[in-house]
Amino acid sequence: MALDIRTNCSLIPYHSFGLQSTAKALVEIHTPEELREVYFAPDYRDVPKLVLGSGSNTVFLQPFDGLIIINRILGRHQQPTEDGVLVHLGAGEDWHTAVMWSLAEGIHGLENLALIPGTAGAAPVQNIGAYGVEFASVCAYVDVLEIDSGETRRLNASDCQFGYRDSIFKGELKDKVVIVGVGLRLSRDWKPQLAYGPLKTLQSQQALSAAAVAEHIMLVRRQKLPDPKLLGNAGSFFKNPVVSQAVYLDLKQRYPEMPAFASGANGNMKLAAGWLIDQAGLKGYRHQGVGVHEQQALVLVNYGNGTADELISLATKVATEVQSRFGVTLIPEVRLLDRTGNQHWGSHAE
């Protein structure tokens, strides 16, 4: 079947922030073979290309001057292992749907990652995480297509160089591979992870199920986070900043109520970006067509008619206010892309 490459496409349906933008060309692919065909198509060999899943972590600052590839590679499979189960997900699988499927199948370990927007293929790039659990902790492997050769290969979790919201796919392998599938190793010896924030209220419950943990997390997330179908957003706009022990102790002395969490073995501490933004007086702040969400200051939203310029102005104001008050630098978690797919933050490319 010939690829259906469309030209001059609106990108509003393909990213959750819903800002007005277009792509010179767009195609949806459903197999690794179609993906390979796209990359070797003569008419598009030399144009910029960008692979999207659900577009839940992407903002287009300018019209995209190339080919957008929508990854629709599906598939959910499980096989038993000595101590649990190995789950394979196609890169185009909706992440939350896969989490709920795993729970329905009696597979435990993904419940803390419920209701995270995006696809399975995006999960390792960002090393998604929530409520004390990261993708890295359950990853067995990541299957990729090498763009230059067109060959597929498997990376073990140890090859992926996972860090906080980071991986080899944002560094050494950026623009060199496309993720086509992921493998998750989940243990039969399940223990709920309840040390993080709102989950502590569940610690006293006896015979707590993974499904109950997921339900609680979904309730908390829905209370705090806007549905992008109703109010355009890309979830957490900024990363939680990691600071040295000295910086943390100085801030803690000035702000005893400041939440923080250990990050790594070197004494570094992770601060709550949403709390910093809230304390800077910006929760609910509105700038033309965009704003800081009224319930969760970490989320920037599009009220329906926002523009990329307005969003960047708002994000810059937020980062500047936090820097001025706390001396802490905020870095976007959201991808802010120019017309060739390069990431920009303000006027500076990252």
Which residues does the annotation mark as catalytic?
Answer: 165, 236, 333
Contact 181, 75 (CB under 8 A): yes
Task: Give the Cβ contact number of residue 49 at 10 Å.
Answer: 21
Task: Provide the CA 296 distance to its chain's centre, in angstroms.
Answer: 17
Torsion of CA 44, 48, 53, 58, to 10 degrees: -150
Q: Which residue shows structure tokens 């933050």? A: 345
In terms of Cα–Cα distance, which of 191, 181, 185, 209 is closest to 85? 185
**Residues for the chain: how many in total?**
350
Q: Which residue shows structure tokens 């004494």? A: 267
What is the sign of the dihedral through the CA atoms of 196, 199, 203 and 206?
negative
Encoding tokens for residue 179?
């993720």
Q: Which residue shows structure tokens 């419950």? A: 205
Furthest-apart CA pair in the chain: how many Å? 65
In terms of Cα–Cα distance, which of 79, 80, 84 is closest to 187? 84
Contact 240, 270 (CB under 8 A): yes
Q: Any idea what DSSP says for residue 238? A: B
Contact 14, 53 (CB under 8 A): no
